[in-house]
Structure 1
């Protein structure tokens, strides 16, 4: 039997940690499958309860509403991606190699299911991240939820990338912007290739665009970082601000 991995997430995402119980893990497992099947708009706790042969009230004991459930799933995903990246770059000293590994892992990990997380199919969850993640933070409640730390996993992953970027080029003026852009590109261009192909150069072929997206991220990141325009010293570069 695979060794289970539990992600440590903000307690405000849930009423009861679903990772701790059999029913909770079942809620996670089938909510991922159902949101992928029918979309977040049509997904309800009532439909989920019917699928897992439980009650709607039992689902509400874990999550206040389906928006919090979506934020939980997104947070779980980004924490898992960070775990994968941290594991692979742990003993790497060369920052360029670290960034290359990090960006490749960002794409590779998303396309496979990790057997150590039995209640989560990461490949399916990745499709949810691509299709539904914007609904997690493009809301009227975003500022309040940000103050509660509900987006911390995503921001921490972005900070990991921006730190590596500054290792490569300490004088690069936009490390956080580049980091968050790379994260957004990793999912948006897969979506574009399948649904809005004129917005990207990625060609969607049988759902396999992994190598193309990896090349896009690497070309974009290193093209900017190695540009002579950014190797000229800027005397008043601001130090990294705290996560907001």
Structure 2
């Protein structure tokens, strides 16, 4: 039996919690659909309002601007990923197996998923690949960070970094390795889809990728070299 996940986010991401009203939930669902269809640059609150047969003013009651909406959606996705990782590693004792499970989920493998969401997570995953970097590659990044708007992403990175430290206690760069895995997952999936000469990651006819293999190589090759340097084995 599947469980539907309700995700709570930093209140500074919105002016009014969209989860509390039917209109708010519609704004979130349709914004995902429109950003996935149009791209973030061409997405506007005016187009969203037209799509939901409402007004721009009603959208602005929930989100200050479309950048805050993007932050909300990306943060929602990181929380969803966190739920999935926690669910699938809850009874796993071996840290290496936990890390492999995280990489499998990060690479986009959904498989038999007992968790359900009230949004289109496949479309949201595509948005994260294309648009997530725009959430923090801005002049306002320091102010947004001070307001805690990236805390969900940072918490998730720290959680996985603890797995890395459990595998290789002497690893000097656990957070750097984990954030590199996150960035590499998005970038190389994008490259495989649009700039294939920049990566060996590829898509097969069913849309599957070799991304999981690449990320496992990146993580465990790095950890094995670190273990070798200090005279231990993984």
If the TM-score is normalised by the length of the shorter chain, which range does it land in? over 0.9
Could you say what secondary structure the match of 2:71 adopts? Answer: helix
Tell me, yes or no, if the aligned pair for 1:71 and 1:136 is still in contact at 8 Å. Answer: yes
* 1:215 counterpart residue number: 213
Tell me, yes or no, if the aligned pair for 2:85 and 2:105 is still in contact at 8 Å. Answer: yes
Q: For residues 111 and 147 of structure 1, do their structure 2 counterparts lie closer, same or farther at Cα, with a shift above 3 Å needed?
A: farther
**TM-score relative to the length of structure 2:** 0.92
2:224 is aligned with 1:226: yes
Q: For residues 2 and 172 of structure 1, do their structure 2 counterparts lie closer, same or farther at Cα, with a shift above 3 Å needed?
A: closer
**Residue 229 of structure 1: CA displacement?**
6.0
**Residue 139 of structure 1: CA displacement?**
0.2
Q: Distance in 1 between matches of 2:110 and 2:152?
A: 16
Q: Which runs of 5+ in 1 are unaligned?
A: 234-244
- Deviations along 1:81-109, one digit per CA (max 9) or x if unpaired, are 01100111112111111111111122235
Q: For residues 112 and 52 of structure 1, do their structure 2 counterparts lie closer, same or farther at Cα, with a shift above 3 Å needed?
A: farther
* 2:196 counterpart residue number: 197
Q: Which runs of 5+ in 2 are unaligned?
A: none
Residue correspondence of structure 1 range 1-244 to structure 2 within 5 A = 4-109=4-109, 116-118=116-118, 120-206=119-205, 208-210=207-209, 212-227=210-225, 231-232=229-230
Q: Distance in 1 between matches of 2:211 and 2:86?
A: 21
Q: Distance in 1 between matches of 2:113 and 2:54?
A: 26
Q: For residues 41 and 129 of structure 1, do their structure 2 counterparts lie closer, same or farther at Cα, with a shift above 3 Å needed?
A: same
**TM-score relative to the length of structure 1:** 0.88
Q: For residues 109 and 204 of structure 1, do their structure 2 counterparts lie closer, same or farther at Cα, with a shift above 3 Å needed?
A: closer
Q: Distance in 2 between matches of 1:175 and 1:99?
A: 12
Equivalent pairs, count:
231
